[in-house]
């Protein structure tokens, strides 16, 4: 009996040590896991947006559609990324001003779905993710870059030491204090998870991550 009691006591001690170790590892590991999860959530949304911008450029460069729009639509606690397109005949006639009716020119229209021959050519939606935009906006690419339109509500921000207004910032819809926000700021505190996509009128894309005080290329 004494021997059995000693064995049981030793086993209980081992159990207490294991439980203590698990508690310590959880205390250290859980914040790291949540940090990774948050970063991944924002990065996936950024990659979705970058993919649609790249797709829009590919479509117009290959001649599938000569004029394609990448559109950003704030929606509740999230955002919808989509692409819209004009067919060749519509684009040519509007460019020449030959069409009758409401739309007889080339513009980057984000308000009227009937402006486009094809709405929702591709679409991605997110929850708990927002952009720096407080309203619908878009960027439009043409096959010869002559009818390029950037986002109308963008103001300059600094990326790699240069000012640019051709960008999209993506972040969580809550700041680090868990306060809900409707759009991302242009700069963040050092620990926030945020990404930025930068492009040119010819469709070249660069991706950046916020790192403490500035945007770093990834």
Comparing CA positions, the residue from 52, 27, 62 lying closest to residue 205 is 52
Strand spans (E) along 136-217: 137-142, 157-159, 162-164, 167-172, 194-199, 205-211, 214-217
- In degrees and rounded to multiples of 5, residue 175 shows phi and psi of -80, -175
Q: Which residues of the chain have pLDDT under 70?
A: 1-10, 21, 23-34, 100
Gyration radius of the chain over CA positions: 25
Q: What angle do CA 136, 65, 198 make, to 5 degrees?
A: 45
CA 93 to chain centroid: 34
Strand spans (E) along the chain: 67-75, 78-86, 118-127, 129-131, 137-142, 157-159, 162-164, 167-172, 194-199, 205-211, 214-217
How far apart (Å, rounded) are the C-alpha atoms in residues 56 and 65?
9
Beta carbons of 122 and 55 less than 8 angstroms apart: yes
pLDDT on residue 162:
93
Q: Which domain holds residue 104?
A: 2-217
Q: What is the pTM of this model?
A: 0.82
> What total of structural domains would you count in the chain?
1
Comparing CA positions, the residue from 73, 39, 69, 47 lying closest to residue 172 is 39
Cα atoms found within 13 Å of the Cα of residue 215, Cβ hemisphere only: 23
pLDDT on residue 190:
78
């Amino acid at each position: 009996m004494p021997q059995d009691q000693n064995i049981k006591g030793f086993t209980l001690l081992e159990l207490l040590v294991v439980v203590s170790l698990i508690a310590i590892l959880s205390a250290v590991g859980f914040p790291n896991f949540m940090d990774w999860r948050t970063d991944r959530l924002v990065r996936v949304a950024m990659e979705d947006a970058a993919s649609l911008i790249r797709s829009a450029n590919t479509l117009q460069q290959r001649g599938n559609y000569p004029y394609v729009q990448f559109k950003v639509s704030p929606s509740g606690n999230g955002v919808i990324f989509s692409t819209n397109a004009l067919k060749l005949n519509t684009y040519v006639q509007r460019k020449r001003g030959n069409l009758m009716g409401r739309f007889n020119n080339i513009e980057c229209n984000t308000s009227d779905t009937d402006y486009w021959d094809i709405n929702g050519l591709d679409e991605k939606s997110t929850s708990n993710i927002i952009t720096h935009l407080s309203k619908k906006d878009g960027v439009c690419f043409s096959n010869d870059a002559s009818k390029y339109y950037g986002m109308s509500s963008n103001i300059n921000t600094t990326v790699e030491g240069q000012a640019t207004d051709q960008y999209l910032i993506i972040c969580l819809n809550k700041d680090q204090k868990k306060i809900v926000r409707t759009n991302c700021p242009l700069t963040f505190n050092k620990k926030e998870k945020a990404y930025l996509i930068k492009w040119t009128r010819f469709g070249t894309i660069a991706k950046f991550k916020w790192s403490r005080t500035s945007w770093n290329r990834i």
